[in-house]
Amino acid sequence: MRDACSKCGVTFTPLLDIAFWTATIFGSVTGSGFGHKSMALSTSAVTIADIARAAGVSVSTVSRTLNNKPDVAEATRQRVQAVIEELGFTPHAQAQRLAAGRSRAIALLFPDAQLSLMREEFILGAAKAASDASYTFYLMTSSITRPQLTALCRSALTDGIILMEIHLRDWRVSYLKRIGFPFVMIGRCANNNGISFIDMDFEQGIAQAVEHLANLGHHKIALLTFPDDVYQRGYGPAVRGRDGYAQTCRRLGLPAIIAPASDTQAQLAEATNRLLDRHPDLTAMISMHGDTTIAVYRALEGRSLRIPEDVSVIAFITRRTAELFTPPLAAIDFPAYDFGYQAGRMLIARLQGANAVEHILPPPKLILRQSVAAPRTLLRNGLTIS
């Protein structure tokens, strides 16, 4: 992971429950985790207090010199500049931007973002967009409260926000719209008027997967999705994925078999085993759990079931991760890096004066690999199943 980060010029630092990534800009790295003291690393340990002592002037005089204020005598200015050159002092770029009333920074609010290859790609994409535009990039992974979001917007640490984990009725969206703070979304609400977003078309992706499996001859196709309470709270992917699956099954005359599970390997493996206990004639599964779908593979292997001979599997997952599975995993391709990059680009365009609202909903792509095949006659629990 560290190698992947260094290629993009991004530094990752964990701080207890807050993680932040910052793009390297002008030879310095800056970052802050919300609720923690800020951290700053520069190319020099020399401070303006050191400059002031060496030049025999006040700290404010050094500051005015660095900011090219006209009220510094020319002789004093030259003396301060000489000391700066002698000591090799490098002004902190982020501090200068904050003093000018703008941060040239964007923040990604990604609550509960546990490390995974898919989440990493969202983050790296947004960080690359920031780096390309010489913006600092912050990642905040705690669930944020209204007072904390208010404090962040007033702090001058960031000029705009990328929101993730969007709900159909999301209080963060309503609040940021009301106060006029710049933001974009990876995901979308029920009402997206005036808000730029990029999102996966979960309904169409699910429909493609179910239709393909049905055309191969599968009649019992299960959906491994998010827990019931996540669906009831209106989390966008949970609602769109489950509803799209149910609608497609009704249209094709198939039974809707829904298996809720949290996004951990242990819970997903348990849900897979419970599903197979209840439906021993199941021949296909669609997982909305990305990287964690490896737990489905392991659960099937633990029951001596082969992929795809006994059970076909499709997941919403990135191309890079799908190809690491054995056998390689058929997928509704989730281009998380591109989503992160496009969200960063849209936000920075707005910060630079663009007024156009962008709604990006790319058509989903079903990429077939070796985890899918037509169902075969199986001997399972003493029953012959076609």
Q: For position 67, which CATH number holds?
A: 1.10.260.40
65 and 16 in a common domain: no
Which residues constitute the domain of residue 259?
202-333+365-385
Q: Give the span between the Cα atoms of 49 and 57, in whole angstroms.
A: 9
Tell me, yes or no, whether 292 and 213 share the same domain. Answer: yes
CATH number of the domain encompassing residue 159: 3.40.50.2300
Confidence (pLDDT) at 263: 83
Its pTM stands at 0.74
What contacts 220, CB < 8 A, 6 or more positions away? 254, 255, 257, 279, 281, 282, 283, 284
Among residues 236, 32, 310, the alpha carbon closest in space to that of 296 is found at 310
Distances in Å between the alpha carbon of 174 and those of 112, 146, 248, 313, 377?
21, 11, 32, 38, 53
The DSSP annotation for 344-376 comes to HHHHHHHHTT-----EE-PPP-EE--TT-----
Please report the pLDDT score of residue 377 as a whole number.
Answer: 56
What does the block give as tokens for 33? 């985790």
Question: In this structure, are 291 and 176 located in the same domain?
Answer: no
Residue 122 is assigned to a structural domain of this protein: yes
Answer yes or no: is 190 within a domain.
yes
Query: Is residue 192 domain-resident?
Result: yes
Instruction: Please check whether residues 206 and 194 belong to one and the same domain.
Output: no
Decide if 360 is inside a domain: no
- Measured between alpha carbons, how far is 204 from 239 in angstroms, rounded to an integer? 13
Domain count, the chain: 3
Q: Which tens digit of pLDDT belongs to each residue from 26-63?
A: 222 333 333 333 333 333 467 788 888 899 998 888 87
What residues of the chain score a pLDDT lower than 50? 1-44, 98, 378-386
pLDDT score of 141: 85
In order of 153, 186, 215, 243, 259, the CA distances from 207 in angstroms are 40, 21, 12, 10, 17
Is residue 356 in some structural domain? no
Task: Output the pLDDT for position 21.
Answer: 33
294 and 380 inside one domain: yes
Q: Are residues 229 and 292 in the same domain?
A: yes
On the CB side of 258, CA atoms within 13 Å amount to 19
Specify whether 80 is located in the same domain as 114.
no
Amino acid 114: pLDDT: 64
Q: What is the pLDDT of residue 203?
A: 97
173 and 186 assigned to the same domain:
yes
Q: In terms of domains, do 132 and 36 share one?
A: yes
Let me know whether 237 and 182 are in one domain: no
Assess if residue 359 is contained within a domain. Answer: no
Residue 193 lies in a domain: yes
With respect to residue 220, please indicate whether it lies within any of the assigned structural domains.
yes
Residues 176, 84 share a domain: no
Q: Both 79 and 111 in a single domain?
A: no
Predicted pLDDT at 115: 65
